[in-house]
Amino acid sequence: MTTNLELFATTALIALFSSVVATILGYPIGNWLAGTGRRTRQLVSSFLLVPFLLPPFLIGITLLPLQPNAFNSITGILWIIGAHVLMNAGFMARVVSANQVPADQLEAASLDGASGLRKRFAIELPQQLAGMLSAGLLVALYSATSYGLVLTLGAGKVDTLETEIATAALRDLDLNFALTLALLQTALTLCFFYLARSIGAEPAPLFGEQETASSGSKLGGVLSAVLLAAIVIVFAGVFVRAITYGPGLFENFANLAGRGSRELLNISVAEAALNSLRNLIVAALIALPVAWLAAGRKRTSYLVLLPIGISPVVFGLVFLILSGYLPSALSGTWLLVPIVQSLFLIPLSYQVLRPARQSVSMEIRDAAQLDGAFGWRMFSEVEGPLVRKPLSVAAAFVALGSLGEFGAASFLAYGSQATLPLVMFRLISRPGPENLGMAMAAASLFIVVALAVVWLISLEARTQRQER
């Protein structure tokens, strides 16, 4: 019997180890990236960020075929940490490369006779530490809320707070125990989130540009190559399996219109994808306008940011309990899923939109108002075009966030309302080459979408730079 304390410790340790390893790996990679030419930097860092943008359950699915058939809980935990590192090391590298020490400082130090190593550890590291610590805590937060990944790679042998919340609520019907665990989970993640915010001011811009004089070490270059190779191998593995598993490429994709071998699913993968698309649209319709309005306010809205520190599993549980008290037009319908998703998509888009909206100068707004632009006209003709790019980035984040959301949906979407991640999880948790082939086909589509989003965002970053 696992105790609450053990669950808490397992969850916290997985989160911390994932974060520490991702940081150790990301630091030299980030410094190396910062020293490379602009084109290389942009290409490599964009690619390293793709796993970070993919939903955790999908990272789990991409690694699943590489797992041995039988393993114990410790091995399971190592796999989970490894998957978190693969997801987040690129993000850490990007943060490090964006937090470089100004060139003149380093030159001054060189003149004073400081060696390369000394410059790195006496001058650069202390200045980068705050940003890294903040990003590291965010990685810990993501790693403590990766329910879908733990389910996929833990194979039922790894218990975390999130998996036990689900077991207590959905299997044992013990809502009191589930709520107790939910409180522990929330205490843990809110703690990570607020420490991260109090240490580093704002999260570093993910796709920004930074000029630096730092020259990366050989080690950084090698590690970058290793990480890149790992990502390419894992992704290529998914594509190859989509082609070779089960009945083969065309059949695997054609099967997505069906319900798996032995009619395993309630609805076809395509129908589930449509459900997810519908949820995405509703979630975006709620999250983007709310984030937009909140981002326009003078003071930072901590209330809006709060949900980012709360696990989707906890949200799912709370809304499952609440659903008995909500108006019946809402409870028991598919609407609950996108509404809950929008709760944590709002802070995500807020973080993108706030700096953008704050940067639109007061003068422009005042001038527009003098010319009679208010409300919708102000948005569509003045501010909207000015922040079109951050707006499309926020929309892309919302899209990926909603499409890949697993925890809340697993509590609230069932039967014919199942979402794409839920049916994909069902496909991989049952044997049969046909099911696995379908899951890999769907996963490769997911990866292609994420690559397209990254490409879109980096394209935006580039045109932004050119316009400056």
Partner 1 sequence: MKKLAILAISALALTGCSAQDITLVRLAAHDSFVISDELVAEFESETGYELEIIRLGDTGSLTNQLVLTTNAPVADAFFGIDNTFAGVATDNNIVDGEMQAIDYSDVCFNYDLDWFAESSIAPPTSWRELGQEQYKSLVVVTNPNFSSPGLAFLATTHAGFDTSAEVFAYWRSLRDNDLKVAGSWEDAYFVDFTRYGGDRPIVLSYASSPSAEVKEDGTPGSAALRTECFRQIEYAGVLNNADNKPGAKAIVDFLLGDSFQASVPENMYVYPINEAIEVPEAWAKFAQPADSLLGEGLDINANRDQWLTDWSDVFDN
The residues that touch partner 1, with contacts defined as CB under 8 A, are 1, 72-73, 156-157, 169-173, 262, 264, 266, 282, 285-286, 289-290, 293-294, 320, 323-326, 328-333, 335, 339, 414-416, 429-432
Nearer to partner 1 by Cβ, of 1 and 111: the residue is: 1
Q: Ramachandran region of residue 248, left (φ > 0), alpha (ψ -120 to 50) or beta?
A: left
How far, rounded to the nearest angstrom, does the alpha carbon of residue 295 sit from its chain's CA centroid? 21
Nearer to partner 1 by Cβ, of 94 and 426: the residue is: 426
Beta carbon of residue 176, minimum distance to partner 1 (angstroms, whole number) = 14
Q: What is the DSSP letter of 124?
A: I
The rounded distance, in Å, linking the Cα atoms of 119 and 107 is 10
> 65-93 burial by CB neighbour count: b if 16+ within 10 A, else e?
beeeeeeeeebbbebbbbbbbbbbbbbbb
Nearer to partner 1 by Cβ, of 70 and 117: the residue is: 70
The rounded distance, in Å, linking the Cα atoms of 240 and 242 is 5
Beta carbon of residue 77, minimum distance to partner 1 (angstroms, whole number) = 13
Nearer to partner 1 by Cβ, of 30 and 260: the residue is: 260
Nearer to partner 1 by Cβ, of 301 and 464: the residue is: 301
Residue in the structure block whose two tokens are 């470089």? 100
Work out the number of other CB atoms within 10 angstroms of the CB of residue 332.
13
The first and second tokens of residue 257, run together, are 């219109």
> What is the DSSP secondary-structure string of 28-90?
HHHHHHHHS-HHHHHHHHHHHHHHHHS-HHHHHHHHGGGS-SS--HHHHHHHHHHHHHHHHHH
Nearer to partner 1 by Cβ, of 170 and 368: the residue is: 170
Nearer to partner 1 by Cβ, of 414 and 455: the residue is: 414
Beta carbon of residue 78, minimum distance to partner 1 (angstroms, whole number) = 16
Nearer to partner 1 by Cβ, of 167 and 358: the residue is: 167
Beta carbon of residue 1, minimum distance to partner 1 (angstroms, whole number) = 6
> What is the DSSP secondary-structure string of 336-352?
HHHHHHHHHHHHHHHHH
Q: Which of 457, 450, 449 is nearest to 388 (CA)?
A: 457
The first and second tokens of residue 394, run together, are 């926020």
Nearer to partner 1 by Cβ, of 175 and 459: the residue is: 175
Nearer to partner 1 by Cβ, of 331 and 392: the residue is: 331
Beta carbon of residue 265, minimum distance to partner 1 (angstroms, whole number) = 9
Beta carbon of residue 330, minimum distance to partner 1 (angstroms, whole number) = 7
Beta carbon of residue 162, minimum distance to partner 1 (angstroms, whole number) = 17
Beta carbon of residue 143, minimum distance to partner 1 (angstroms, whole number) = 22
Tell me the C-alpha to C-alpha distance, in Å, between residue 282 and each of 274, 286, 403, 411. 12, 6, 12, 18
Beta carbon of residue 332, minimum distance to partner 1 (angstroms, whole number) = 4
Beta carbon of residue 329, minimum distance to partner 1 (angstroms, whole number) = 4
Q: What is the DSSP letter of 204?
A: P
Specify whether the CB–CB gap between 420 and 271 falls below 8 A: no
> 435-444 burial by CB neighbour count: b if 16+ within 10 A, else e?
bbbbbbbbbb
Specify whether the CB–CB gap between 54 and 401 falls below 8 A: no
In sign, the C-alpha dihedral spanning 130, 162, 343, 149 is: positive
**Coil, helix or strand at residue 436:** helix
Beta carbon of residue 357, minimum distance to partner 1 (angstroms, whole number) = 15
Beta carbon of residue 7, minimum distance to partner 1 (angstroms, whole number) = 14
Specify whether the CB–CB gap between 7 and 177 falls below 8 A: no
Nearer to partner 1 by Cβ, of 125 and 335: the residue is: 335
The rounded distance, in Å, linking the Cα atoms of 102 and 212 is 6
Nearer to partner 1 by Cβ, of 92 and 295: the residue is: 295
